[in-house]
């Protein structure tokens, strides 16, 4: 069974993206899942000198190493991810530079990448999707699934789409 890491961030901690994320989580084995609410963790911004105190990033990095599947869950804000999600992705740069954890960055190769997102549009924003395509490509992570829900009127959790997405994680 594959290990799945879910990295969630949203300004609305009980909003549409959270509900979508929880619906997917309910379909997968919790013993093989780790969940990080990035908004509840403290980690420094990326810096070119790689001077960091011990913060929550290293727990996330360890979980990245453990995972077979990496799921990013964020609503679309101004064509992009939440600020905390972006800060984490910037900080992941440390995995390419810091000799103590560089093996984790190299170990991302051939993992599977997924995205869960919601917005007030029928289609996922191409800038948003392209951002993840570039991030995954950089680390040789296989872009395996993206589930976007249109929440312009009300949130509808399409059971079959959620089941199909969860099947990709198994």
What value does the CA radius of gyration of the chain take, rounded to a whole number of Å?
A: 15
Integer Cα distance of 119 and 76 in angstroms: 6
Q: How many CB atoms lie within 10 A of CB 156?
A: 10
The token pair at 9 is 């961030």
Integer Cα distance of 138 and 111 in angstroms: 12
Query: What is the pairing mode between strands 4-8 and 69-73?
Result: parallel
Residue 143: φ, ψ to 5° = -70, 110
The pLDDT value given to residue 53: 86
Q: How many CB atoms lie within 10 A of CB 9?
A: 26
Residue 148: φ, ψ to 5° = -115, 135
The pLDDT value given to residue 54: 87
The pLDDT value given to residue 11: 97
The pLDDT value given to residue 51: 85
The pLDDT value given to residue 122: 95
Domain ranges, ordered by start, for the chain: 4-168
Burial letters for 131-142: b for 16+ Cβ neighbours within 10 Å, e otherwise? bbeebbeebebe
Which helix (H) or strand (E) covers residue 143, if one does?
strand 142-150
The whole-number mean pLDDT for each consecutive block of 10 residues of the chain, a chain of 170 residues, reads 97 97 97 98 92 92 98 97 98 95 97 98 97 98 98 94 97
Q: Are 37 and 85 in contact (CB under 8 A)?
A: no
The dotted CATH code for 4-168 is: 3.40.50.360
């Amino acid at each position: 069974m594959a290990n799945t890491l879910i990295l969630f961030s949203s300004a609305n901690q009980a909003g549409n993206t959270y509900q979508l994320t929880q619906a997917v989580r309910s379909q997968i084995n919790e013993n093989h899942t780790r969940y990080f609410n990035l908004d509840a963790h403290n980690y420094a911004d990326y810096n070119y000198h790689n001077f960091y105190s011990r913060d929550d990033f290293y727990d996330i990095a360890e979980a990245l190493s453990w995972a077979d599947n990496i799921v990013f869950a964020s609503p679309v804000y101004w064509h992009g991810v939440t600020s905390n999600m972006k800060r984490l992705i910037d900080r992941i740069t440390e995995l390419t530079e810091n000799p103590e954890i560089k093996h984790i960055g190299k170990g991302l190769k051939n993992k599977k990448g997924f995205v869960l997102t919601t917005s007030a549009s029928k289609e996922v924003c191409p800038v948003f999707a392209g951002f993840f395509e570039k991030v995954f490509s950089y680390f040789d992570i296989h872009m395996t699934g993206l589930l976007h829900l249109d929440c312009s009127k009300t949130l509808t959790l399409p059971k079959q789409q959620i089941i199909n997405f969860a099947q990709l994680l198994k």
